[in-house]
Amino acid sequence: MPGTNDYPNADNYPTSSFPTPVPPPEVDPDAGELLYVGYNPAWSEVVEGALMQLMNPATWQGEHNDIILAQNRANVLMWLLQEPVALPTTDDVPTPFWDQDTDVDDSAPVETQTWYGTVSDPELPPGELTFIENAAIWTFTGFLAVATIEIGAAPAILFNTIAPRFVLATRRGDLGEIIRILVDGEEAARVDTSGYAAGDVIRTPIIADPALSTHDVMIVQVS
């Protein structure tokens, strides 16, 4: 019927906010590797309203069936963003250091670990850095800890060791990074991984003050 926005309707075809139709994603929104997003529930209705644009057939490229499939998947996405979920976690988080061979299996429950987290500004002087525990942005494969970037924060590791001399190993990822190493409240080194190939391991020797019985070590990803 002319004058309605029902699809398909050649007499009153809705206009998309996209400059041109976009190709629909080729995967269901709840399939494969998932991204977990947090926001205050007070914004739920606003988020759902904004996502209604994805129900507009003019948003999508393709034939009739392609558009219908994209709308169905968009509807699932809208539902997913309204449903609270429990974040997947490992039962235990491994320690980031090993003072002795017998310590390599040390771990702690994710909610009580004290080593993995973030700092708000990685370039602040050592005495002004505030470490906030947050294991949720870290994943672990064997002895390798990998952090995801969180808006407004920089990944950081904070631990205490009895070793006065040790070597910190940093693996170069797909992109070059600057890693800041602080020992006992002083900057001990900066590691620039951009000069290495992806996958290379950069080992940085650290010598702490032997007069101290233990040493606080913070590793911060600057960029």
* 142 pLDDT more than 60: no
Q: Tell whether 109 and 73 lie within a shared domain.
A: no
Domain boundary among the residues 88, 120, 146 is at: 88
What gap in Å lies between CA 17 and CA 161, rounded to an integer? 55
Domain boundary among the residues 88, 120, 144 is at: 88
Q: Tell whether 130 and 202 lie within a shared domain.
A: yes
CA distances from 156 to 92, 147, 181 (A): 18, 9, 10
Q: Tell whether 208 and 143 lie within a shared domain.
A: yes
H-run or E-run covering 114: none
What gap in Å lies between CA 195 and CA 93, rounded to an integer? 31
Tokens of 38: 């947090």
pLDDT of 101-112, one tens digit each? 555 556 776 666
The number of distinct structural domains making up the chain is 2
Q: Tell whether 200 and 109 lie within a shared domain.
A: yes
Burial class, 58, CB count within 10 angstroms (exposed 0-12 / middle 13-18 / buried 19+): middle
Q: Tell whether 150 and 84 lie within a shared domain.
A: no
pTM for this predicted structure: 0.53
Q: Are 170 and 138 in contact (CB under 8 A)?
A: no
Residue range of the domain that includes 6: 1-88
Domain boundary among the residues 62, 88, 114 is at: 88
pLDDT of 166-195, one tens digit each? 888 888 877 788 888 989 988 888 888 888
Q: Tell whether 104 and 206 lie within a shared domain.
A: yes
What pLDDT is attached to residue 40? Answer: 84
Nearest to 164 by CA among 179, 180, 183: 183
What pLDDT is attached to residue 125? Answer: 87
pLDDT of 69-128, one tens digit each? 999 999 999 988 888 776 555 567 777 766 555 555 567 766 667 788 888 888 888 888
Q: Are 62 and 70 in contact (CB under 8 A)?
A: yes
Q: Tell whether 67 and 175 lie within a shared domain.
A: no
